[in-house]
Amino acid sequence: MSLLQVESLDIRHGQFRAIKGLSVSVTQGEVVALIGANGSGKTTLLRCIAGAARATAGTVHFKGEDITALPAQARVARGLSLVPEGRRLFPDMSVTENLMLGATCDRPGDWSVERVLATFPNLVKRRHALAGALSGGEQQATAIGRALMANPDLLILDEVSLGLSPLVVDQVYASLAAVLTSGTTIILVEQDLARAMRVASRAICLLEGSIALDRPMAQAPREAITAAYFGLGTGVRA
């Protein structure tokens, strides 16, 4: 049974049609890599699924329930959490306070401030520092931890590596490994194709607001993904 079902989704920014009649469904336990160039609609699509952007037409179902009209906090309460692009921490609050805010909905589960700190050991020393004073890697770890505090069934990670040095990206993914293999369903946006192919079980390529490729990672060779990324015809719609 599909955990997330998006049907004929249209999102417009004024005259611009950012998402064009997109349909996709994600099954429990999948790790989906969403791949696409800047402006292909990845962030718009994910923000709409999380409730931070409005759909112009179409529906989003989560666990069989129509959530299209629900506000973001109601979706968090149902187990759908987004780590937004650019982290969007609360800069005047400490790391611990940011993490505790993530538990606002009080969903049952075993994520706690202690477990987040154990998962992201680079935060232990910084737990009382203000989020605005953190390095990029520490901010990303805090943002992911904050989303995990809601014990989500579907975790959406938008641009995990944005603005981070390769070394720090390695650290973040090393910490994420436990989450990635824990059975939590994950949709992630990753610009580093090699890394996306390593961690994800399924690849979805977005091109100008439509899906250009959607395959299990094992059947999606690098060339096919690259072709879909640039819209080069070959490998598109297999």
Partner 1 sequence: MMFQITNAVLLGGHYALIAVGLSFMFQVMKVINLAHGSLAVLAAYGIWLLADRAGLSPFVGVLLVIPPMAVLGWGLQRGLLERAGRGGELLPILTTFGLAIVLDNLMFQQFGADTRSLSPFIGDFAWASWELPGSIFVGKVPVLILLTAILTIGALQMLLARTALGRQIRATAQDPVTAGLVGVDARRISAISSALAMVTVALSGLALGLRGTFDAYAGAPQLLFAFEATVIGGARSLWGTLAGAMVLALAQTFGAMVHPQGFLLGGHLAFLAVLFVRLAAAGGVWHLLKRARA
Bridging pattern class, strands 16-27 and 185-189 = unpaired
Binding-site member from 11, 31, 32, 82 for partner 1 (CB under 8 A): 82
- We find the least distance from the C-beta atom of residue 234 to partner 1, in angstroms, to be 38
Binding-site member from 93, 129, 130, 236 for partner 1 (CB under 8 A): 93
- C-alpha closest to that of 3 among 24, 32, 28: 28
Joined tokens for residue 7: 């049907």
Q: Given the rule CB under 8 A, which of 26-34, 67-75, 161-169, 219-227 is the region that contacts partner 1?
A: 67-75
- We find the least distance from the C-beta atom of residue 34 to partner 1, in angstroms, to be 18
Q: Please name the residues in contact with 133: beta carbons below 8 A apart, sequence gap of 6 or more.
A: none
Please say which residue, 8 or 73, places its beta carbon nearer to partner 1: 73
Q: Please name the residues in contact with 226: beta carbons below 8 A apart, sequence gap of 6 or more.
A: 193, 232
Joined tokens for residue 237: 């719609």
Q: Given the rule CB under 8 A, which of 68-76, 163-171, 200-208, 219-227 is the region that contacts partner 1?
A: 68-76
Give first-to-last CA distance, the chain, whole Å.
23
Chain residues that interact with partner 1, rule: CB under 8 A: 50-52, 71-73, 76-77, 81-82, 84, 88, 90-93, 97, 100-102, 104-105, 146-147, 150
